[in-house]
Chains A and B, each alone.
Chain A
Amino acid sequence: MTTIADVTAAPKVESIAELKRICNRLRIEIVKMIGAAGSGHPGGSLSEVELLTALYFRVLRHDPRNPEWPERDRFILSKGHGCPALYAVLAETGYLDHSVLGTLRKLGSPLQGHPDKRFLPVLEANTGSLGQGLSIGIGMAIAAKLDKKDWHTFVMVGDGEIQEGQNWEAAMFAPYHKLENLTIIIDYNHQQLDGFTKDILDVSPLREKFEAFGWRAVEIDGHDLEQVIPALEEARNGKNKDARPTCIVANTVKGKGVSFMENNPEWHGVAPKPDQVSAAVTELQEKAKHL
């Protein structure tokens, strides 16, 4: 397989301290943009931040100046309601102008309530009906193999989302077809819409389930960049996977970084009011001083 020289790809941010500062900035953007929109999903956006930061600043082969680059890695946000975090990272990496973040969910905005390629072509898929991203990712991974290309496909799902049966049809398919160029990241924040996942329909143990389906599965702390980056790099570049796709079970905290949102299911799909936005931003800015 040919590897396209990394010179065309976005420069990587090596410093963990700098990556942590980026995560903090993204969280501030997320809270502000959902606050300005007056609706949206803060909890499941905040839990994704380290995973997305590691992908876009360290792991993905991509080029913001060339969004249609055929050699780019593909990233599908299957849990589409978590798109404010993706929009924030696309702005931070230069795909979008920061000013557009304030238009989230407004008439005519490229930043639709759920990812919509019609309005923002850089997105790889339209999502929002949960449970479908992994199948799309499989299709992409097969296409890469047919074309003998070495780009990788990453799919991020929620732990509530994993209850959809389609995921398990896909989970059977990917290892059977030896799609080592495919990775699923489960944002395991232990909550879904109506409450805690264990009280609704427990999905544990996730790593064991995927292993039993034939995946190479690892479990990490999804907020610890020193665990997230090596896990993603191994999934993308590792040579010892026995032609298996990778499942990364990332334990996270819903609402991470904003103390009054953390682990409170009320913050699944409610926008913070202006005073709550200020409180959250102040808290995050305070944290930034120590990063």
Chain B
Amino acid sequence: MSSTTMPNTTAKFELKMGVATREAYGQALVELGRKNPNVVALDADLAKSTFSAKFQKEFPDRFYTCGIAEANMVGIASGLALAGKLPFASSFAVFLCDKGYDQLRMCVAYPGVNAKFVGSHGGISIGEDGPSQQAVEDYALMSALAGFVVLNPSDEFCGRALVHRMAEHNGPVYMRTGRPKAPILYGPGDTFEIGKAKQHGNGRDVAIVACGLEVGYALQAQAQLAEEGIQARVLDMHTIKPVDETAIAQAAKECGAIVTAEEHLLDGGLGSQVARAVAKSYPAPMEFVGIQNTYAESATPEQLMEKYGLTAPFIVEAVRSVLKRKR
């Protein structure tokens, strides 16, 4: 396995790397399992990769591996929930969402079933395995399921906390986790609520709204922009749906220019959600950092994030162009 350390730690703003958000999921799932005997975990032959194997090890009687059969797994999760259990089903994001989609709609979203889904290896930062394993459409797919909450934590503390919030929330929830190590942005004292963004800085020139690994890059961009005299605020929008309309409206009003950054196709992801909230409140010029209508390829995570325009310099560039249009 090649280096999976991201974002680039040689950048001006040093980020200390922690564990991957997928590992945070495994840890939190074990914590939940200890607290709540109703928690049942499912996986589709990727338990070692999604880290649900941690739960399997401690609670073998409450863990079911479904084999390579994601649609069946989603249906089983629905049945477990309907019979009073609290199921957490995981696989790679792309297989869970894309193969399980009809079941996620029909057996979970439509009847409003209280089942939880975690898709690991989201985005292109998985690297060498290439597009067949890279989920670049999961925010859009899962946001298009009525009633679903859609999450993507930026670091291990955010990730662990959100797993607990998922369990407390009554209704269907999807969380994307990532393969590479994530930078440490928070500490054990930080609290996280579904639908409430975490704000970094109070800049009034521009707001950068990001989620997942893009938050680390956004903070690097923020530091670089500060050196140029541009004061940015960064909103960690760990909840893509329902997006934090209050924080976005405030940012639009106070900054008058918005950039979004996501490791996802620009179609139907974070940018679309934020744009709607901006348009509804204080319309302001926007720029969008994300994957442009294509599938990626095999290479190291670092090379792909660079080639597909997702690292800090691209966010800085987007800020420069949005500021030109600021009224």
Could you tell me which A residues sit within 8 Å of B by CB distance? 37-40, 80, 105-109, 112-114, 116, 119, 126-131, 160-161, 163-165, 192-194, 200-201, 270-271
Contacts and interface: CB of A to CB of B under 8 A. Distances in A.
B154 interface: no
B297 A107 contact: yes
A129 B94 contact: yes
B132 to A, nearest CB: 3
A119 B296 CA distance: 11
B65 A128 contact: no
A129 B99 contact: yes
A167 to B, nearest CB: 10
Contacts of A108: 297, 299
Nearest to A127: B132
A37 B307 CA distance: 19
Contacts of B127: 39
Interface of B: 1-2, 43, 45-49, 53, 65-69, 71-72, 94-95, 98-99, 127-133, 297-300, 303, 307
B55 to A, nearest CB: 13
B300 A107 contact: yes
A184 B20 CA distance: 39
Contacts of B48: 193-194
Nearest to B47: A194
Contact of A160 (B67, B95, B298, B299): B67
Contact of A201 (B49, B67, B297): B67
B104 to A, nearest CB: 15
Contacts of A37: 128
Contact of B129 (A106, A114, A127, A164): A114
A78 to B, nearest CB: 12
B298 A200 contact: no
List 8 A-B pairs, minimum CB-CB distance, nearest first: A128-B132, A201-B67, A107-B299, A163-B67, A113-B130, A113-B298, A105-B128, A113-B129
Nearest to A203: B67
A108 B130 CA distance: 12
Contacts of B131: 114, 116, 128
A105 B1 CA distance: 11
A129 B46 contact: no
15 contacts: A80-B132, A106-B298, A107-B297, A113-B298, A114-B130, A114-B131, A114-B133, A128-B130, A128-B132, A160-B45, A160-B67, A161-B68, A163-B67, A193-B48, A193-B68
A194 B67 CA distance: 9
B60 to A, nearest CB: 12
Nearest to B67: A201
Contacts of A160: 45, 67-68
A270 B87 CA distance: 30
Nearest to A202: B67
Nearest to A266: B48
Nearest to A131: B68
B67 A107 contact: no
B283 to A, nearest CB: 39
A108 B304 CA distance: 11
Contacts of A164: 68-69, 99
A129 B65 contact: no
A9 to B, nearest CB: 31
Contacts of A131: 68, 99
A193 B71 CA distance: 18
A213 B314 CA distance: 54
Given A39-B1, A116-B297, A194-B47, A201 B128 contact: no
A37 B303 CA distance: 14
B45 to A, nearest CB: 5
Which interface residue of B45, B47, B71, B298 has the most chain A CB atoms within 10 A?
A: B298
B248 to A, nearest CB: 35
A105 B66 CA distance: 29
Given A164-B68, A165-B69, A38 B1 contact: yes
Given A80-B132, A119-B297, A107 B307 contact: yes
B130 A116 contact: yes
Contacts of A126: 132
Contacts of B128: 37-40, 105, 113
A122 to B, nearest CB: 17
B297 A112 contact: yes
B130 A192 contact: no
B180 to A, nearest CB: 13
B3 to A, nearest CB: 9
B298 A109 contact: yes
A200 B1 contact: no
A200 B68 CA distance: 9
B134 to A, nearest CB: 10
Contact of A194 (B45, B130, B132): B45
Nearest to B68: A163
A75 B298 CA distance: 23
A114 B132 contact: yes
A270 B1 CA distance: 7
B66 A201 contact: yes
A80 B66 CA distance: 21
Given A112-B130, A114-B132, A129-B94, A192 B298 contact: no
A200 B65 contact: yes
Contacts of B98: 129
